[in-house]
Structure 1
Amino acid sequence: MELHRKNVLLILLLIVLAGSALRIYNLGAASIRADEGGTIYFAERPVQELVNIFHPYYDVQPPLFYSILHFWIQAFGKTAFALRLLPALLSIIAIPIIYLLGKELFNDKIGLFAALIFAVSQANIRFAQTLRMYPLLILFALLSVYFLMQYFKNPSHRNFALYILFAVLSVYTHYFAGFLLGAEFLFAILFYKKYGIKFSKIFPMFAISAILSAPAGWLLYHQLAIKTYTEVVYFGDDPLAKVTLLAPNQSNIFARLGLIFYQLSVGFLQFNLKSRLFLVVFISSIAVFSLSLIAGIKHMYYTRKEKLWLLLLSVAFPPICLALLWSLPLNNGHTLIPVLTYTRYLLFISPFYYLLVAYGALEGIPQLVRNIKLQKAAFAIILLAIVFFNAVSLNYYYTLDSKQENWDALSSEISKDYSQGEPIFLMSASYFYNFEQAFNNGANVYSVPTNLLLNNATFADAYRSIGVINESNSCDALKILDEKTKSVW
């Protein structure tokens, strides 16, 4: 039974409002943390410096999000709320776009359900409240797939240009978007005949996208060529950089892939096998999402094979590419970068994953259960289960996770005993800009190697006291400077 148009718009509005409330709630409460400080630092560079591909800046991200944030800061300031409002709004805008893509591929119901899963997704809410480029990447990824399908349906100049626009913008937002473009190209090669389109019409679209994206590849090459101390700090002894296929540990490729899809399903929850609530969420969420996914894939294989391939390629091709990249050995026996260890790098595939789950819940499972009442009951259970899973993880995020790295509290404690001119040393470059944002007393703040002995005669003679914030203690915030000692470890 099809939904009335007014009902569709009303349900979509309610989903958008719910998703907006979850993304705006507590938005400015947490300190600037994790990679946010570095994001602000780069956004405050001159735009011409960010976009200069011949003299790349010291980061491994493309310049688009930093450039947008540069002007956002000028317009709205640098409070935590104002800064995080940008990714929150981008994530909110993505909600109706998911509905439109679901409607284009299937129908209103599947589009609405996928939009709902995205709206309540703890993983997406978490990064909607983080000052990084991931929500912008999701938005451009969705629009590139949407206009690809629009072009296959109606190969007009408008759809041709819009696909190229959003495909290229996605690459300049994050380099891993190139894997999605690869998935789209594979889909086009496989199914252009089915849509009655000549190869001569689709090849120029991808060729132009590749040519316009080429400067991003040049920029990435030169960014990776910059040798910095942080390479050693971040990855030199990181156990996650030692990839394995067989060993049952955190560096196992299949274990990491499973964890990523688990986090896309129910968010970031601390593993606690002694907690009954965690065990209920862990086991039942795997059952609900796996059943919906398998039922959907099975049904789509016989009824909508080309759309199944579009979604499967969008969901599977980027992780496969990242798994291969993670496996590339360097001379020191480590990998290039533990890219597959961070779910945020694959967050842009989540809408396509949710579309597969939504299709399975609404079309696949009803084929397994013929009774109408049982079909409705099964859908209600899946709907409530997904909301419940994310409600549990959202409660954890809002009450506990969001309080980590409390640099504001740390700065307040330091200020009580701080004397002007004393140096402060951070034992990690990754936290430097976060502390600098919170502690604006004009202090001399330095980032130093973890093996540097700070209580030696040179430092002791030069300063009355030295304060050190150790990386391993900084996340709980209050392992802080002690004026009675030369350093705090």
Structure 2
Amino acid sequence: MRKYILLFFLGVIALSFRLYRLDARGLITDEKFTLLNANGFWVGGANQSAFKKTYFTAQDFWEKKGPQDFMDASANADFGTHMVHNVILHYWMKVFGNSDFSVRMPGLIFNVLTVLLIYLLVLKYFRSYSMAFLAGLLFAIDPLNIAQSHIARSYPLSFFLITLATAYFVKLVSGENSKKNFVIYAVLIGLAMLNHYMNFFVPLLHVLIFLVIRNKSHLWTGFILAALANALLLFYWFNWGGGKGAMGFLKDKNEIHKKIAENLQDELSQTIQLASPDVIAKKGIALYYDISVITHGLFEDIKGVKVFLSSLLLAIGILLSVQGHKYKRYAGLFLSLLILALERIYLGSILASAALFVAFYYAVKYLLETRRYEAEKQEFVWLCMGLGMLILPLIFVVRDAYLSGNTTSLTHRYIGNASPFVVILVSIGVIRAAQEKVILGALMLFLMIFQWTNIQKGIQDYFADRSVYNAYFVPERVPNPYAALAKEIQEKAALGDTLVIPGAYKDKYEERFDKGGTVSYKDAQFLNLYFPKDYALIQYVDPKERERLYLKKKDGERVLLFDFKGEEYRY
């Protein structure tokens, strides 16, 4: 009964945060790209015959698309990622429609399922209600995951797939190595990789863990076949499928971002910075804190590498003072007091940071203990996954920033797939530390109480539309302008009217690098998504109009319906 009561509470908490204001704000650019891709349409309309005509209707826009269109659309806009999510969303919209609430619901469902899955897995393999509930709770209130549940993108699906795939990996290495489990494992890994390439960290860690575990001779054949199946799948995908242009896309994207960062007069250079060692170090440390959930936003309080390193020394001092022999204890106590005295203006923040290091120490200590016992192989795998996913994604994004020369890779969504595993590592470390010594239990309690303010602020910032997880919108976004416009047009338009849609608008990137006079069909695409498929109103994209959308009446009168005002309503 206790198991299911806690499961119920976690479900309520997770759903409450994720359902709140789910459709209160319009779709951001990435979400609109998702809706186009999920219908087989290229962003920009290159594969839609409607935009090859001067005049067209929604019937033209909604022309039927085949499987190749879906892959090409994904390759064109998202370098072949998000494919599994887009397929699910395609059929979801056929049943539930494409309102903002509806298209965001699959991500919400997968994220809540991941909360519950984490709780059940930790309870099963670590046999601790406190560890299981804390892990589920941290994931449920994680500002990153709350934000991702409100965005119609594939990341929540990725988190669910890689967590479930790892659960099957644990089954396989701990004796449940049936053919059925190998097939399910191979399928889950394949789906995760097609959903987003950044999920490659998970099978990579599975390989590394498999190489170090004992008594595995009977598993080689199954894992080799699973690896070959996925290698062939990705070989096809990168050569003929949706990922065929991925590498070239990323190269071009990095070159554009570097040019922006190098031009200090460009307003975008404030967000796309040159990757200097100082900037990389600070952004990398900020990601380290946020990947841990429990220390979300802590770098805003610490604001420096020096204090971060001081907190590491403080953690060493604390560990020596509670674990060492007589003289080591005195040395640890002296070091701790010295650090606290030198960094006293950061007292609360440095203690919280040190507490996280202490929690990681006890998680790693537990990992080393489980390595000795074959019977505890499951715990060993989960702890290795937590530690590996804490380290590898951070190394990857830091390396990418260094090689590309800009900081666009140093962002939360590229390390988000670590969050299911890191919450397990953190929760186990916190509970183990608290069980070791009363003073350490007090330190872990302080960490959670002190950090609740930062976590709360992260959640509030997201719902106020000024979060690092969804960019900053001033003023706050309104409900979907395109959906509202489509409804208004259907109410006001009469037979013989023509809808005139702006076609001269270019976003900040296009203004810098697309100097041609090409017509933009994006406003027309986003608007037509909300027209019925049989809607026969004549439409025209005006190549000279940038902002205003008109209804041209039969008598020639132009009725202004909406002014997009640049980015204010285009998000």
Seq. identity, % = 16
Report matched runs for 1:31-180 at 5 Å.
31-45=26-40, 46=65, 48-50=67-69, 52=71, 56-62=75-81, 63-109=83-129, 110-154=131-175, 155-180=177-202
Measure the CA separation in 2 of the matches of 1:17 and 1:70: 28
- Asked whether the 8 Å contact 2:367–2:384 carries over to 1, the reply is no
For 2:188, give the aligned amino acid: F
Aligned partner of 2:460 among 380, 386, 395: 395
2:394 maps to which residue?
319
- Asked whether the 8 Å contact 2:355–2:447 carries over to 1, the reply is yes
Is 1:261 the counterpart of 2:288? The answer is yes
Measure the CA separation in 2 of the matches of 1:33 and 1:164: 33
- Asked whether the 8 Å contact 1:141–1:166 carries over to 2, the reply is yes
2:515 maps to which residue?
none
For 1:156, give the aligned amino acid: S
For 2:463, give the aligned amino acid: Y
CA change 1:324–1:90 in 2 (3 A) is same
Please list every run of 5 or more consecutive structure 1 residues that lacks an aligned counterpart in the other structure: 1-5, 450-462, 481-489
CA change 1:48–1:479 in 2 (3 A) is closer
2:59 maps to which residue?
none
For 2:25, give the aligned amino acid: A
SS state of the match for residue 401, structure 1?
Answer: coil
Is 1:9 the counterpart of 2:4? The answer is yes
Superposed CA offset, 1:56-94 (max 9, x none) = 444313321111111122211121111111111110111
How well do the aligned residues superpose, as a CA RMSD in angstroms?
4.2
Higher gyration radius (CA): 2
Q: Give 1:176 deviation, angstroms.
A: 1.1
Is 1:243 the counterpart of 2:275? The answer is yes
Report matched runs for 1:51-450 at 5 Å.
52=71, 56-62=75-81, 63-109=83-129, 110-154=131-175, 155-191=177-213, 193-194=214-215, 197-218=218-239, 219-225=242-248, 236-238=259-261, 240=272, 242-244=274-276, 246=277, 248-249=278-279, 252=280, 254-264=281-291, 265=293, 267=296, 271=300, 285-304=352-371, 306-307=380-381, 308-328=383-403, 334=405, 338=407, 340-367=409-436, 369=437, 371=438, 377=442, 380-385=445-450, 387-401=452-466, 404=473, 406=477, 408=479, 421=500, 423=502, 425-428=504-507, 433=522, 437=526, 444=541
Measure the CA separation in 1 of the matches of 2:441 and 2:96: 47
1:3 maps to which residue?
none
Tell me the TM-score normalised to structure 2 length: 0.65
- Asked whether the 8 Å contact 1:285–1:385 carries over to 2, the reply is yes
CA change 1:58–1:122 in 2 (3 A) is closer
Q: Give 1:25 deviation, angstroms.
A: 0.5
- Asked whether the 8 Å contact 1:339–1:345 carries over to 2, the reply is no
Q: Give 1:126 deviation, angstroms.
A: 0.6
Tell me the TM-score normalised to structure 1 length: 0.75
Number of residue pairs matched by the alignment: 434
Q: Give 1:353 deviation, angstroms.
A: 0.8
Measure the CA separation in 1 of the matches of 2:501 and 2:231: 52
Measure the CA separation in 1 of the matches of 2:199 and 2:408: 14
For 2:285, give the aligned amino acid: G
CA change 1:359–1:231 in 2 (3 A) is closer
Superposed CA offset, 1:7-64 (max 9, x none) = 1221121011111111111100011114111111111213513554799444313321
Please list every run of 5 or more consecutive structure 2 residues that lacks an aligned counterpart in the other structure: 41-64, 262-268, 304-345, 373-379, 489-497, 511-519, 532-538, 547-557
- Asked whether the 8 Å contact 1:35–1:430 carries over to 2, the reply is no
